[in-house]
Structure 1
């Protein structure tokens, strides 16, 4: 069981003005003037699709969008006061914390489920790491029901003392209640993640579900494989088995479902759907033709930039363009998404704690290594252009070998000596009926084998 590691202490406040669109480079808290309107995956999609808007008129438009929405950074006494933009060409990895705010205000009420209340909790949390050479992206989900130790943190209205064995999503809510703003809420979450993981994350992005819905609509919907026919009693949504082209509301509702007929009711399983939606949305955005579909890409990038709060380290038009140019050919098979290893909390079976093996995941990220058991070859995969059959590229490079043997190019999986399907990235066991991946040691969900379900369960002819 792992609850805390590498604590860091921050102190008194100082204020520096930064632009809207992200978390502070070296800060604990922010006073955010405008409401955040996007779910966790929009930040990644915004960066990856920004390249499509590199023309003079949109440059001016985006520059205005970024500069017109400002936040203030609240610095602690850690001595970190740099607000210089990240240099995307510096050959350094970029790591940030994505937080999906659980709010029911405005249009976000369309995505409410099972009587949940609006108390500003962190519904979704993911640590995202873009490699130094921009050849892969690591995404690690932190279950909101994780019981962890929270270090003390500063807010705009004073300091919150350290607490032990609290739910991870309550840290965001507690920070909001104490500080009265998203600045305080997200900063306390960020400090906790750094303490638990030993990472040194300087940036975070807060988002909500309505913004995600608008982004999906901006590119004409998203293709999702529904492996098992499902019905959700809270929204009335019924989705039949097969590849479905969903609009923003329905796709977001699917990612939020927890008590539908195809789910076990756990937040952990819901997290795997959110990871899958991220990969599908990124893949579809990157598959757009820059010349013939520039209008959709512009609307997607504009929706994202209007909806996100990013720190000064990223909120710079030149920085975003430079980063996007280096990422727009990213092979989506090199997006390594998984949930941190967990086990049941001994004191409460309805909660979870991090398994000891979680530190192996964070160690890889601290060492800037891809979260895969395969050999990662940065140049082995060109970008795929098929919206549905992700990464179905025939390749004989070492990247397609694992400790189990050769990887099936159609499914992206291998088989062990017992004939079970294995995800070579995580070593998890894949359910052939729905593509979910489970930890072989703990039995908990780790993710979804997106390539497997897209090309097997929901196989469709290439367009």
Structure 2
């Protein structure tokens, strides 16, 4: 298998791993108060930062040695400035699969007690002008080349053709702490994608469960009955309101009725859940109910671990305030394009050759929209055509390569106007097209398939909610 690693990239200094100061067993430091202060920022990651403004205020109240100023009639509140104003912010979100702790064990972790795996990995990128957020999921079952990495107790050697989620586990096994596991994973993502991530956030099952319970649960649309014998999850088709435990089990399930068992379908469900949490949060007007927001913040965050670079009150408060105006339809989520692995096509996948288009878009800090990516590809093709036209011996490879001419669902977004109810385009032959990704949408379950590989890449949540769940669920 061809290596995905970007060669000759130095290993960065993650969170002070190579710093001379004492590490005390971890390269990330975040006190309980600071973690509590940024809870809504983290909820914002899972809800596409719909409650970020409240986080800023909460951070000010909870920060050590800082007390609130009561604004007097005619007075003005102090303006909070984003220290990263005009700069993009990007980080890695890791969902930890562990049975350590009573709550995590009860939520059905697949790892044995004492073991730690990365169940979910998402790259989050917030634009410099705070107008959009990109989120890209990396399948845990994808085979990649893992670069060597430094841990708190030694070096993990480079490995070839290994499961992506094993990088986290190996980092933990060698270093013995979460810092090593997360730093090795971030190092690998940087090497594989060409990105320059410097921050990470790790959440376990208990943390996700707590965040969902803190907003009073979440509505999800189930296109089919769901039944998982491993966890006991048993839900009927239609609109269901799930508590934190049910939602977490639904996001993680890979067995039973309602899933095909693939990591790709699970990743798509997780993205759908994220959008539904955002909708739930906005519908309750949490942005205007500060006392309730503070109580939710205090209750939600118990199990988050944040790299030291993000654990700055000034950074988080400024970011929170700067994100208050972001729109829900400017949150772009997708799973990296993959195909079955030749060595194990039934159980493993490898990144498709078109995956670089997604990473190119993030490296250039562009939104993950079909229109924007098509313009980027067309620009590259024009440059190639101009180069060929200057060489009388060259041939026009674009006209002879049918795969290349198809592009990433090329022209799908130009085949019609999206339906205001479903958000999708219907072609002349009745095919449903997602105008954001260019993928085709399954009419039965709302799953979006990659236009090149046919793999699941997301869920058409607006379509699902408007069709399958236009009526309440069965009891």
Q: Do Structure 1 and Structure 2 share a fold, with TM-score over 0.5? A: yes
Aligned partner of 1:74 in structure 2 is none
- Residue 290 to residue 116, structure 1, CA distance change in 2 (3 Å): closer
Aligned partner of 2:90 in structure 1 is 95
Q: 2:354 aligns with which of 351, 354, 357?
A: 357
Aligned partner of 1:75 in structure 2 is none
Q: 1:250 aligns with which of 233, 246, 250?
A: 246
Aligned with 2:181: secondary structure?
helix
Q: 2:133 aligns with which of 129, 134, 137?
A: 137
Aligned with 1:199: secondary structure?
coil
Asked if structure 2 preserves the Cα contact closer than 8 Å seen for 1:375 and 1:402, the reply is no
Matches of residues 188-207 of structure 1 in structure 2 within 5 Å? 188-207=184-203
- Residue 89 to residue 181, structure 1, CA distance change in 2 (3 Å): closer
Aligned partner of 2:3 in structure 1 is 3
Aligned partner of 1:458 in structure 2 is 469
Shift of 1:271: 0.9
Structure-1 separation of matches of 2:314 and 2:415: 44
Shift of 1:54: 5.3
- Could you give the per-residue CA deviations for residues 107-126 of structure 1, whole angstroms, max 9, x where no partner exists? 1112216x543421111101
Aligned with 1:251: secondary structure?
helix
Aligned partner of 1:158 in structure 2 is 154
Shift of 1:313: 3.1
Aligned partner of 1:71 in structure 2 is none
Q: 2:19 aligns with which of 3, 7, 14?
A: 14
Shift of 1:268: 1.3
Aligned with 1:265: secondary structure?
coil
Shift of 1:287: 3.7
- Residue 60 to residue 198, structure 1, CA distance change in 2 (3 Å): closer
- Residue 13 to residue 317, structure 1, CA distance change in 2 (3 Å): closer
- Residue 424 to residue 158, structure 1, CA distance change in 2 (3 Å): same
Shift of 1:228: 1.2
Aligned with 1:100: secondary structure?
strand
Q: 1:436 aligns with which of 434, 447, 452?
A: 447
Structure-1 separation of matches of 2:355 and 2:287: 43
Shift of 1:30: 2.1
Shift of 1:290: 4.5
Asked if structure 2 preserves the Cα contact closer than 8 Å seen for 1:286 and 1:328, the reply is no
Aligned partner of 2:385 in structure 1 is none
Structure-1 separation of matches of 2:65 and 2:183: 24
- Could you give the per-residue CA deviations for residues 373-411 of structure 1, whole angstroms, max 9, x where no partner exists? 1469xxxxxxxxxxxxxxxxxxxxxxxx93222111111
Structure-2 separation of matches of 1:44 and 1:17: 30
Q: 2:370 aligns with which of 361, 369, 373?
A: 373
- Residue 365 to residue 375, structure 1, CA distance change in 2 (3 Å): closer
- Could you give the per-residue CA deviations for residues 347-377 of structure 1, whole angstroms, max 9, x where no partner exists? 112111000000000001111111111469x
Aligned partner of 1:347 in structure 2 is 343
Moved more, 303-312 or 405-414: 303-312
Q: Structure 2: which 5+ runs fail to align?
A: 67-80, 374-411
Aligned partner of 2:303 in structure 1 is 307
Structure-1 separation of matches of 2:243 and 2:138: 27
Aligned with 1:166: secondary structure?
strand
Shift of 1:314: 2.6
Asked if structure 2 preserves the Cα contact closer than 8 Å seen for 1:111 and 1:256, the reply is no
Moved more, 435-444 or 86-95: 86-95
Shift of 1:167: 0.5
Q: Does 1:298 align with 2:294?
A: yes
TM-score by length of 2: 0.78
Structure-1 separation of matches of 2:83 and 2:415: 36
Aligned partner of 2:51 in structure 1 is 49
Shift of 1:196: 0.5
RMSD, aligned α-carbons: 3.1
- Residue 291 to residue 451, structure 1, CA distance change in 2 (3 Å): closer
- Could you give the per-residue CA deviations for residues 49-98 of structure 1, whole angstroms, max 9, x where no partner exists? 2422555xx445431499xxxxxxxxxxxxxxxxxxx9555212111111
Q: Structure 1: which 5+ runs fail to align?
A: 20-28, 67-85, 377-400
Aligned with 2:317: secondary structure?
helix
Kindly indicate which of the two structures has a greater share of residues assigned to helix. Answer: 2
- Residue 32 to residue 163, structure 1, CA distance change in 2 (3 Å): farther
